[in-house]
Amino acid sequence: MSRLAENIYFRSPTWLQNLLISTYGYNLYRKRYKGIFTDIMAEIRLTEDLNAKQIEALQAERLNQMIEYCKKKYPLLSEIAGRPFALQSGLYSDLSHQKTTNPKEVDR
């Protein structure tokens, strides 16, 4: 808390201190448990009964989505890698064949 807020709080009557603390706590609760939290919890509940194969397929799908996003947002990544990343039949492919680049060379 800032020094001004502390001074106001400590000089306030007890009922106002209680109101200020309750308001502060409510704002913390909203920040912590509203918005994206409910979406994430719904997704967790949908995926908690998946078996290992289904989880692996979901991870591969999410990885593909992230790679596609990165390729669209940062086209240079495809050029650096030499060719687009690929996943084979829902399993992670061996990425050891991908060309690696020295970060100092990328800046040139």
Return the bridge partners of 88, or none: 91
| Mean pLDDT computed over 13-17 | 93
Q: Where are the domains of the chain?
A: 1-49, 51-108
Taking the mean position of all CA atoms in its chain, how far away is CA 58?
16
pLDDT digits (tens, 9 = 90+) for 47-98: 888 888 998 998 999 898 988 888 888 877 767 665 555 544 444 454 545 5
